Amino acid sequence: MRADAVRGHLDAMLLAVLEPGPRHGYAIITAVQRRSGGTLELRTGTVYPALNRLERLGLLRSRWQPVADRPRRCYELTEAGRRSLADARSTWQEFTATVGAVLDLAPARHAT
pLDDT tens per residue across span 36-89: 999 998 999 999 999 999 999 999 999 999 888 889 999 999 999 999 999 999
DSSP readout, 32-62?
HHHHTTT-----HHHHHHHHHHHHHTTSEEE
Backbone conformation region of residue 21, classed left if phi is above 0, alpha if psi is from -120 to 50, else beta: left
- 10 Å CB burial of residue 108 (0-12, 13-18, 19+) is exposed
What is the per-residue pLDDT for 8?
84
What percent of the chain has pLDDT above 70? 90
Q: Cβ distance 60 to 54 under 8 Å?
A: yes
Q: pLDDT band at residue 5, thresholds of 50, 70 and 90?
A: low
Read off the DSSP letter of residue 1: -
